[in-house]
Amino acid sequence: MCTANLIVTNHEAQSFPSCSLAKDDSEAYKDHCKPQRLEFDRVLCDVPCSGDGTLRKSHDLWRKWSSSMGNEFHLLQVNIAMRGIALLKVGGRMVYSTCSMNPVENEAVVAELLRRSGSSVELLDVSTELRELVRRPGLGTWKVNDRGSWFQTHEDVPDSRKNVILPSMFPSSTSIHESHKVYNSFDVNSEYNVPFSRNFNIEDTNNVNCDTGGISSSNSAQSLDSKFPLHRCMRIVPHDQDGGAFFIAVIHKLSLLNENQVIKVRKTENLLSKNRTVKLQEQCQHRIVSEVLDDNKLLDEQTKLSVANQTSKDDNLTEVKMASDVEYSQTESGDRSRRMDKLDYQHKWKGIDPVLFFKDEAVIKNIVSFFGIEESFSLEGHLVTRSTDNARRIYYVSKAVQDILELNIQVGEQIKIASLGVKMFERHRSKDGCSCAYRLSYEGLSLLFPYMRKRILHASPVDFQHLLQYRTINFARFADARFGEEAASMMPGCCVVVLREGYQIADSIASDPSPIAIVCWRGRATMNVLVSPADRKELLEYRFGIKAFKVEDEKSNKNIDALAEESL
């Protein structure tokens, strides 16, 4: 993504590490103004869901969808969102979103978040933002479906299913309302006689109730209404904007969570999950079925049992695997021993290259001197690599990313980092006698170029176009003879070629905040472009309007001369 502020991680969201320092280390870190735990200003919590809001484009959902899909995702969604809130800074915002229409995955999850977090968070009213977005208020009441039956409260659920259908799936309130109501002359359950207003004020429907039971509202029984302001959530339905269905809720963190309450709820969840697995096992072993099931339902039950058993085994294997990661050592010889040595270099996470700070001062000074990098652009402490010796690629990271990496090292590399920063330098194997072992990467050029004072050439539009088209050009073949002479007089190695617009001189280009530049290699007798064909083609289209031209790696000198004469 070509940004120094990026870290790509690979974790289960509900178990994302907080990287909290121990108390002694935390006190020492305060003096250096370093972060003591990993916290975020903003969290986008786009959780896994049943995806029934994508029915218009995901045709396979018509075959495999069932109401139980939302019930199965509910607990996972709550755990992921709660982890997001825990990692959120006080004063920060988290956006919870799904592509589902099921209230069990939407309003029920938000209500449970508010219930667990207490006064630590609030559900924001964002009705005044994005006014052009056609949205509907969140539901205040709903029913939960399980095996063809609808339940209004958890007390209505049969005892045999109460470990599957959780209390958090239902609205919670001490008052009872009719499930079909009209607010401000707006009938929630009826078909709309007028288009839904783009400037509709969500706060106008304070406690909107909607019967989602699929039964006639005139015959529906009473249902509990949520005590939380769930009308502040946003529902986007397909027929309002001819698109898909989405659910969005914005949560603002007011204070730190009560950790004791979070731990208590987490233990309860683990117990419910364990009881559910044990119950399914007993039913299968003793062939006890609580209700008459047809063949399809029985097959569905067996499938769930298989998944539960596999999950239980995976949990046990995970503990064993983590223990083996710590105790892993070299025990065999030959090829296997060499492979194990390589794994040892990967530190905690197998299959993931380690992130190491690049601290070779001699190499860094050589790079700074060769490219004339200003002191205001410091490289020390900002360079990282993914290999232990003879680093092939060097990445640049921002100060914020640097602090997180240092924190991650302090806590024992809890974060599994897949990618980070922007590739700035790459080792070359050229035999042209270059005094610098590393060349610039085109990905990091835009970040470094404003601070470079050496190895810069300025090409005319004609020569710049030719470099993009043909990649390699002899010095004598450039349309601008002066440019060819400057290239020939430069020492071999990596350089930057900047597009000079017609009459512009070098000084005016240097002051341009967004010049068009490419990375090249000054060889013995040629100038070679170090830019991928895709990027070269994009530049040709963007700057020269050439869309149908095929980018080639090589071209005969005859064709170059012909094109140069035509351009001149």
| Catalytic annotation, residues | 99
Reported residue count of the chain is 568
Phi, psi dihedrals of residue 459, rounded to the nearest 5°: -105, 150
Q: Which tokens sit at 154?
A: 């958890």
Tracing tokens 């939407």 back to the chain, one arrives at 106
Tracing tokens 């695997």 back to the chain, one arrives at 321
* Spatial contact of 474 and 525, defined as CB atoms under 8 Å apart: yes
Rounded to whole angstroms, the Cα distance separating 518 from 74 reads: 50
Angle at 530 between CA 526 and CA 534, to 5 degrees: 125
Rounded to whole angstroms, the Cα distance separating 107 from 88 reads: 21
Rounded to whole angstroms, the Cα distance separating 250 from 237 reads: 18
Compute CA distances 122 → 92, 142, 260, 530, whole Å. 11, 22, 20, 52
Phi, psi dihedrals of residue 5, rounded to the nearest 5°: -100, 15
Helix (H, G, I), strand (E, B) or coil at 2: coil
Q: What is the DSSP letter of 185?
A: T
Rounded to whole angstroms, the Cα distance separating 566 from 88 reads: 61
Q: Which tokens sit at 181?
A: 């109501």
Rounded to whole angstroms, the Cα distance separating 488 from 306 reads: 70
Residue 300 annotated as lining a ligand binding site: no
Residue 25 annotated as lining a ligand binding site: yes
Q: Classify burial at 505, counting beta carbons within 10 Å of its beta carbon; exposed 0-12, middle 13-18, buried 19 or more.
A: exposed
Sign of CA dihedral 322, 328, 332, 337: positive
Phi, psi dihedrals of residue 326, rounded to the nearest 5°: -75, -40
Written as one string, the DSSP assignment of 330-354 is ----HHHHHHHHHHHHTTTSTTS--
Q: What is the DSSP letter of 48?
A: -
What residue numbers does the annotated binding site for S-adenosyl-L-methionine cover?
25, 46
What residue numbers does the annotated binding site cover?
25, 46
